[in-house]
Homo-oligomer: A and B are copies of this chain.
Amino acid sequence: MLPQTRRTPAGAAVLRGDITEAIQNAVVEELAAVGYGRLSIEAVARRAGVAKTAVYRRWSSKLELVLEIVSGVASQKLSLPDMGSLPGDLTLFLTILTKALRHPLASQIIPDLLAEAARNPQIAETLQQALRNTQHEMGVLVIQRAVARGELPAGTDPVLALDLLVGPVYWHLAVARHPLPNDYVPRLAKAIAAGLRG
């Protein structure tokens, strides 16, 4: 769920002359290393190999910089091909989610931004929008398909379904921070399908 373009090291982008991209990469790396609270424009500029003025010419504050990166993630539409059955769709969704949550940058930056969201309404709002535009839409899609196939009753609550889809994996990987046991994803998909059928 992190933008692909931001995975290249900050230095490489500067060599190509793309200062904006170099700064954005440096922000992601600094966020992972020290967190939002301790992130400084000075350290970002140093890591990107640019002058501090180059950063301030583009963004007025670190808040603005970080919000733009989060919004960038939000605007990425992830496709979820129809797997032909509810267990199939659930397994695909969970596989994508577990992969995203195991990404080293995600596992450092997401908890940090969530912590910041607890005291910064702008970050909270931007993150919530990112969640709505990605996971929420995919969750609703999975439920709609299953209802259309007759696998779930028409009144299935997409909010409860999404919490069941995202919550357990998020809790396991991002909070308890344990590796996933064998066969976890298919077993969870089966449990969620049974839970939603009631």
Question: Which residues of A are in contact with B by a Cβ distance under 8 Å?
Answer: 33-38, 107-108, 111-112, 114-119, 124, 128, 131, 157, 159-160, 163-164, 166-172, 174-177, 181, 184, 187-188, 190-192, 194-198
Distance in angstroms between the alpha carbons of A118 and B177 in the assembled complex? 9
Pair B175/A170 contact, Cβ less than 8 Å: yes
Report 24 cross-chain contacts, Cβ distance below 8 Å, ordered by A residue. Answer: A33-B119, A34-B119, A35-B37, A38-B38, A111-B114, A111-B117, A114-B174, A115-B115, A157-B181, A157-B187, A160-B184, A163-B167, A163-B168, A163-B169, A163-B171, A163-B172, A167-B170, A167-B172, A168-B168, A170-B170, A191-B198, A194-B194, A194-B195, A194-B197
User: Smallest CB–CB gap between A5 and chain B, Å?
Assistant: 23
Which residues of the partner chain B approach A157 to less than 8 Å between Cβ atoms? 181, 187
Distance in angstroms between the alpha carbons of A118 and B174 in the assembled complex? 9
Copies of this chain, whole number:
2
Distance in angstroms between the alpha carbons of A169 and B33 in the assembled complex? 29
- Chain B residue nearest to A188 in the complex (CB): B160
Pair B128/A176 contact, Cβ less than 8 Å: yes
Count chain B CB atoms within 10 A of each CB in A118, A164, A166, A187 and give the residue with the most: A118
User: Smallest CB–CB gap between A99 and chain B, Å?
Assistant: 17
Given A160-B184, A160-B187, A171-B171, A177–B107 Cβ distance below 8 Å?
no
